[in-house]
Amino acid sequence: QLISRLRTTFQVELPLRGLFTASTVARVTELVEEQLLVRSDGPRVPSLRRVSRDGALPLSFSQQRLWVLDQLQPGATPYVLLGAVRLEGTLDAEALRRALELLVERHEALRTTFALKGAEPVQLIQPTPAWTLPVTDLGALPPEDHEAAVHRLALEEAGRPFDLSTGPLLRSRLMRFADAAHVLLLSMHHIVSDGWSVGVMVREVAAAYAAFSTGKPHGLPSLPVQYADFASWQRGWLQGDVLAKQVAWWKDQLA
């Protein structure tokens, strides 16, 4: 995240090893200044911009790795990410469903599927689906069994495979224990999300829910770029001499 912000703000590419070796903020500042001084002598880091959505889009390197692993073991579940959020108080289930639908509408990665085009995998951004929020009513369980029920259903959800070619690659389920006690379970494939993204998703859903449950517009700012834009940027930047230098450095470190 820090490297991404430095890239956006200063238009420099700070090597990952720089963060490993820099022990203070002052040292990071020095590294950025060094990059600014030599930038004119080397390849300039291109700006991250929105690309055309006409046709298929490339995968990022990390997405391609996960796609290859899925081809080797179709339906394997080690890359299913789970998030569980405890909801206390009166719940407007329809407002929550709308908030989740908005999340999928805002973030193209959550409605992306993957296919082969020729010999290369590509990502295809799908239209926003009408979102459904299945509810599992566990109101008959005694309170002492609630945690075990959440754990059991979470394990079941983690064991359900995703189909990268058809999607969706995000699922949601609401567990109801009482009128004022619920747990929202989110599961997604790692190819469209990561642990840090789960926190972003929860915050956006919470903000949209607060608005929808009171009859207000969500007010979330539009997103100037999406993950597909980053993937295209990465593929365009990390090639030729730039890629060769990165590969050479890592080979040296791992030798």
> Is it the case that residue 50 has pLDDT exceeding 80?
yes
- Examine the domain organization and report whether 78 and 196 are in the same domain: yes
Average pLDDT over residues 51-77: 92
Higher pLDDT, 69 or 4: 69
CATH number of the domain enclosing 69: 3.30.559.10
- Examine the domain organization and report whether 124 and 203 are in the same domain: yes
User: Which residue's structure tokens are 């010999």?
Assistant: 119
End-to-end CA distance of the chain: 27
Cβ contact 191:164 at 8 Å: yes
Q: Kindly report, residue by residue over 195-239, the tens digit of the pLDDT.
A: 878 888 999 999 999 999 999 999 999 999 999 999 999 898 877
Could you tell me the pLDDT band of residue 244, with boundaries at 50, 70 and 90? confident
Cβ contact 44:241 at 8 Å: no
> Is it the case that residue 114 has pLDDT exceeding 60?
yes
**Quick one: what percent of the chain has pLDDT higher than 90?**
65
Q: What is the pLDDT of residue 76?
A: 83
- Examine the domain organization and report whether 116 and 199 are in the same domain: yes
- Examine the domain organization and report whether 161 and 202 are in the same domain: yes
Q: What is the pLDDT of residue 139?
A: 95
- Examine the domain organization and report whether 19 and 63 are in the same domain: no
> Is it the case that residue 34 has pLDDT exceeding 80?
no
Question: 100 by DSSP, 3-state: which?
Answer: helix
Q: Give the CA angle between residues 226, 68, 127 to the nearest 5°.
A: 35
> Is it the case that residue 19 has pLDDT exceeding 90?
no
Phi, psi for residue 209 in degrees, rounded to 5: -65, -45
Higher pLDDT, 218 or 15: 218
- Examine the domain organization and report whether 62 and 78 are in the same domain: yes
Task: Tell me whether residue 120 is in a domain.
Answer: yes
Q: What is the pLDDT of residue 249?
A: 74
Task: Tell me whether residue 16 is in a domain.
Answer: yes
**Calpha distance 174→133 (Å, rounded):** 7
- Examine the domain organization and report whether 15 and 66 are in the same domain: no
> Is it the case that residue 44 has pLDDT exceeding 80?
no
> Is it the case that residue 64 has pLDDT exceeding 70?
yes
Question: 165 by DSSP, 3-state: which?
Answer: coil
- Examine the domain organization and report whether 85 and 11 are in the same domain: no
**Calpha distance 245→54 (Å, rounded):** 32
Q: What is the pLDDT of residue 28?
A: 64
Work out the angle between the directed axes of helices 2-10 and 25-38 (0-180°, nearest 10). Answer: 40
Residues 6+ apart with CB under 8 A from 110: 103, 104, 168, 169, 170, 188, 192, 193
Higher pLDDT, 20 or 177: 177
Task: Tell me whether residue 226 is in a domain.
Answer: no
User: Which residue's structure tokens are 């995240």?
Assistant: 1
Predicted model pTM: 0.80
Q: What is the pLDDT of residue 162?
A: 95
> Is it the case that residue 33 has pLDDT exceeding 60?
no
> Is it the case that residue 41 has pLDDT exceeding 60?
no
- Examine the domain organization and report whether 119 and 177 are in the same domain: yes
Q: What is the pLDDT of residue 46?
A: 75
The closest alpha carbon to 136, from 85, 182, 76, belongs to 182
3-state helix, strand, coil in the chain (%, to 5): 50, 15, 35
- Examine the domain organization and report whether 102 and 145 are in the same domain: yes
- Examine the domain organization and report whether 5 and 101 are in the same domain: no
> Is it the case that residue 51 has pLDDT exceeding 60?
yes
- Examine the domain organization and report whether 101 and 177 are in the same domain: yes
> Is it the case that residue 29 has pLDDT exceeding 70?
no
Domain that holds residue 61: 57-218
> Is it the case that residue 121 has pLDDT exceeding 70?
yes
| Counted domains in the chain | 2
Q: What is the DSSP letter of 117?
A: E
For the chain, the average pLDDT equals 86
